Copies of this chain bind each other. A is one copy, B any other.
Amino acid sequence: MAIAAKMNQFIEKSSWIRKMFEEGARLKKIHGEDKVFDFSLGNPNVPPPAVVREKLIELAQSDEPGMHAYMSNAGLLSTRSAMSTYFCREFCISMAHEQVVVTCGAAGGLNIIFKALLDPGDEVLCPAPYFVEYGFYADNHGGVLKSVPTLPDFQLNLDLIENGIGPHTKIVLINSPNNPTGQVYPEESIARLGQILEKKSGEFGHVIYLVADEPYRKIVYDDCQVPCVFQHYTNSLITSSYSKELSLPGERIGFVAVGPFIDEAPKTMEALTLANRILGFVNAPAFMQRLVVSLQGVCVDVEIYKRKRDRLVSALKGFGYELTVPRGAFYLFAKTPLADDVRFVLLLQEENILCVPGSGFAGPGHMRIAYCVDDWVIEGALPGFERAIKRSKAIQERH
């Protein structure tokens, strides 16, 4: 074996997911792109707001010297200031640019947070189901991801979180609106979580950080609000990106913001900035940093996603699928009619429908349907979803 042993394991482990993707590609080749209904990827299908293109043209035409040059590893002052000014408004809290590091998306943000905070063996506690990459991110920096189940409606089980915090817990990681469940944690939950973390930090004699991964913050429905962790717990960090709200996921632009009263603020910021540098990000892409300066608060039309959600939710419920209605993001996490989610997903594949088994998110017995797709994908898939649940009932009766 030439490559790293751990990477070899990771490749083996992820090979069944890859096989599913390969199967999808194979199906598209056989039946045509327009006959395969692909709900497997969280790749926003809604185009960026028109102002994005206008600003890109403006920027491209600029001949400002040094506009593509190196900069502070924490990002351009103008970008950090635009962000912190906007956060003041959005979070109703006092913030300055010194509390913001511009990052290569939220994935970059989580990696610099973990690099900055985790000592070897430190634990990151996370409610399950969760975004599968979290485990890799923690492991990258010597940490260990531990999870506790959520309630049946995927809300935080605060008792389990409290009991799950041990002497090695350094970070509690939440993701709301959630990938894969689409749930949003209400203000009361976050407030109680803050109290628990306060108590446990005291009990174990070290800071336990609350990290909120919020790339879907603006993609919410039914007047749902995403509370701000800064208002409920001092040692909080927020990471997010413009990937979903501006439909720019390939451009890798996001941020980490630290709570205004976080312990050892200057050292924490130094550690995050150094992590951004030495992990090889160096800085978030300069062009995109300049782009987002004037796009704070701009968002794609969320109604488009809401219509897709409503259509899918009502149709699937009509067919007999059990699901908790998602309040944000563009994922629907439905119970699979067969307990074996992988088996049911293969059954869907026979209908040319591609979903990801819940097992891939530590949520077995479910499937993730990413509905950030064109309407024809949803409409075309519905008969297949109906046939699949009928077939699975027949299978169950046989046993």
Question: Which residues from chain A sit less than 8 Å from chain B, CB to CB?
Answer: 2-8, 10-11, 14, 41-44, 47-48, 52-53, 56-57, 59-61, 63, 65-71, 104-105, 107-112, 115-119, 122, 133, 136-137, 140-141, 206-207, 209, 235, 247-252, 263-264, 267-268, 270-271, 274-275, 277-288
In the complex, which residue of chain B has the Cβ closest to the Cβ of A56? Answer: B60
Residues in B whose Cβ lies below 8 Å from that of A267: 2-3, 8, 11
Q: Are A287 and B286 in contact (CB under 8 A)?
A: no
Q: Are A279 and B8 in contact (CB under 8 A)?
A: no
A270 to B23, CA, bound (A): 18
Residues in B whose Cβ lies below 8 Å from that of A248: 68
Interface centre among A8, A116, A117, A281 (most CB of B within 10 A): A281
A56 to B252, CA, bound (A): 17
Residues in B whose Cβ lies below 8 Å from that of A60: 53, 56-57, 59-60
| 9 closest residue pairs by CB, A with B | A250-B286, A111-B280, A136-B278, A107-B280, A56-B60, A60-B60, A285-B285, A108-B280, A57-B60
Q: Are B280 and A3 in contact (CB under 8 A)?
A: no
Which listed residue (B2, B108, B271) contacts A4, Cβ 8 A? B271
Q: Are A70 and B43 in contact (CB under 8 A)?
A: yes
Residues in B whose Cβ lies below 8 Å from that of A10: 274, 278
Q: Are B252 and A104 in contact (CB under 8 A)?
A: yes
A280 to B60, CA, bound (A): 27
A53 to B42, CA, bound (A): 32
Which listed residue (B68, B70, B140) contacts A41, Cβ 8 A? B70
Residues in B whose Cβ lies below 8 Å from that of A116: 3-4, 7
Q: How far is the CB of A268 from chain B (nearest CB, A)?
A: 6
In the complex, which residue of chain B has the Cβ closest to the Cβ of A109? Answer: B280
Q: How far is the CB of A35 from chain B (nearest CB, A)?
A: 20
Q: A11-B274, A69-B43, A264-B3 are in contact. Are A105 and B247 (CB under 8 A)?
A: no
Q: How far is the CB of A266 from chain B (nearest CB, A)?
A: 10
In the complex, which residue of chain B has the Cβ closest to the Cβ of A10? Answer: B274
In the complex, which residue of chain B has the Cβ closest to the Cβ of A58? Answer: B60
A48 to B60, CA, bound (A): 13
Q: How far is the CB of A97 from chain B (nearest CB, A)?
A: 16
Q: How far is the CB of A239 from chain B (nearest CB, A)?
A: 10
Residues in B whose Cβ lies below 8 Å from that of A109: 280
Q: Are A117 and B281 in contact (CB under 8 A)?
A: no
Residues in B whose Cβ lies below 8 Å from that of A141: 4
Q: A7-B275, A60-B60 are in contact. Are A47 and B65 (CB under 8 A)?
A: yes
Q: Are B137 and A286 in contact (CB under 8 A)?
A: no
In the complex, which residue of chain B has the Cβ closest to the Cβ of A112? Answer: B280
16 A–B pairs (Cβ distance < 8 Å), ordered by A: A2-B264, A7-B275, A11-B267, A42-B70, A43-B69, A53-B60, A56-B60, A57-B61, A70-B249, A71-B250, A105-B282, A137-B280, A251-B285, A252-B284, A252-B286, A279-B280
A8 to B266, CA, bound (A): 12
Residues in B whose Cβ lies below 8 Å from that of A118: 4
A294 to B284, CA, bound (A): 23
In the complex, which residue of chain B has the Cβ closest to the Cβ of A286? Answer: B250
Residues in B whose Cβ lies below 8 Å from that of A57: 57, 60-61
Q: Are B117 and A5 in contact (CB under 8 A)?
A: no
Q: Are A133 and B278 in contact (CB under 8 A)?
A: yes
Q: How far is the CB of A30 from chain B (nearest CB, A)?
A: 21
In the complex, which residue of chain B has the Cβ closest to the Cβ of A107? Answer: B280
A353 to B65, CA, bound (A): 23
Q: A2-B206, A70-B43 are in contact. Are A278 and B137 (CB under 8 A)?
A: yes
